[in-house]
C-alpha cells in the first residue's frame, strides 16, 4: 500500500514540475524527483526552485489585493516611496500580487503608481518600475492565517522580511524576523469585497 501511494505521489510531483518547467528539457528529472521526495523535509519551494527555469520571469497569475498589517495599516505604493496607511480610501493601497513560476514567490505591484515593491540588499523598501531580483518575495503562511513576505536578499546570513513600524513607516528588512508581529500581513482579495 505504501509503495503504491509513493508511486502516485512521485508521478504527481513529476507532473507538477513538468508543468512548472513548461515542457523544457526534463532529462534526469524523474530520478532527481524521486531522490528529493524521499527526504522527510522536502517541500514545494525547494523542489520547484531547482527545476523551474526563469524564477524571475513573467508572472503567471495576477490577483487584485490589499495587504493589511496586523496593526491594521495598509501597504501603499506611491511613485517615490513605500508607506503604510490606515486610510482605506487611498488608491495607492490597491495592489496586484503576481505569482512567479516557483512555488510561493510573488511580486507586489501598485496599480495606481505602476511600480513594484522592492527590497535592496540593505533591507530598505523602495519602488521601481522594472521587475528584477529586488522585487521577488517569498510569501510564507504563518500558522495564524497571516502571511510573511521574505526577500530574496539576506543580511549577514539572516533572512529579511517586509515589516511595519508603529508610526506607519517601513521597517528595515534585517530588523524584522519571521516571528515578529510587524512582519505579519493579511492579504485581502479585492474581488471578495
What integer is the mean pLDDT of 59-73?
88
Average pLDDT of the chain, as a whole number: 75
Rg (CA), the chain: 18
Q: What is the pTM for the complete model shown?
A: 0.67
Q: Which residue has the cell 514545494?
A: 44
d(CA 104, CA 128): 21
The mean-pLDDT minimum among 20-24, 40-44, 71-75, 99-103 falls in 40-44
Q: Are 186 and 147 in contact (CB under 8 A)?
A: yes
d(CA 36, CA 16): 14
Q: Give the closest residue to 136 by CA, choosing from 81, 54, 17.
A: 54
For residue 68, which of 193, 185, 175 has the smallest C-alpha distance? 185
Beta strands in the chain (DSSP E): 61-69, 74-77, 82-85, 95-99, 105-110, 115-119, 125-128, 137-141, 147-155, 158-161, 163-164, 170-171, 185-189
Band the pLDDT of 57: cuts 50, 70, 90.
low
Please, is 96 exposed, middle or buried when counting C-beta atoms within 10 Å of its C-beta (0-12, 13-18, 19+)?
middle
| Phi, psi at 31, each rounded to 5° | -65, -35
Q: What is the pLDDT, as a whole number, of residue 157?
A: 78
Closest CA to 73 of 192, 182, 177: 182
Residue, of 49 and 172, whose pLDDT is higher: 172
- 123-127: average pLDDT: 93
Q: How confident is the model at residue 178 (pLDDT cuts 50, 70, 90)?
A: confident
- φ and ψ at residue 37, rounded to 5 degrees: -70, -20
- Identify the residue whose cell numbers are 520547484: 48
| CB-based contact 113:120 (threshold 8 Å) | no
Q: Are 126 and 137 in contact (CB under 8 A)?
A: no
Share of the chain above pLDDT 90, in %: 41
Amino acid at each position: 500500500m505504501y509503495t503504491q501511494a509513493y508511486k502516485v505521489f512521485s508521478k504527481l510531483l513529476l507532473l507538477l514540475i513538468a508543468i512548472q518547467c513548461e515542457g523544457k528539457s526534463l532529462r534526469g528529472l524523474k530520478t532527481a524527483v524521486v531522490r528529493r521526495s524521499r527526504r522527510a523535509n522536502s517541500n514545494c519551494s525547494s523542489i520547484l526552485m531547482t527545476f523551474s527555469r526563469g524564477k524571475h520571469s513573467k508572472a503567471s497569475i495576477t490577483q487584485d489585493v490589499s495587504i493589511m498589517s496586523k496593526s491594521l495599516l495598509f501597504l501603499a505604493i506611491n511613485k517615490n516611496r513605500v508607506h503604510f496607511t490606515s486610510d482605506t480610501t487611498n488608491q495607492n493601497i490597491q495592489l496586484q500580487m503576481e505569482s512567479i513560476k516557483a512555488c510561493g514567490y510573488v511580486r507586489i505591484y501598485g496599480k495606481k503608481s505602476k511600480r513594484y515593491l522592492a527590497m535592496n540588499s540593505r533591507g530598505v523598501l523602495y519602488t521601481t518600475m522594472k521587475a528584477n531580483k529586488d522585487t521577488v518575495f517569498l510569501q510564507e503562511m504563518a500558522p495564524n492565517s497571516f502571511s510573511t513576505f521574505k526577500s530574496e536578499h539576506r543580511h549577514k546570513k539572516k533572512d529579511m522580511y517586509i515589516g511595519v513600524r508603529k508610526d506607519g513607516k517601513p521597517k528595515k528588512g534585517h530588523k524584522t524576523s519571521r516571528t515578529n508581529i510587524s512582519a505579519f500581513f493579511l492579504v485581502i482579495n479585492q474581488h471578495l469585497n
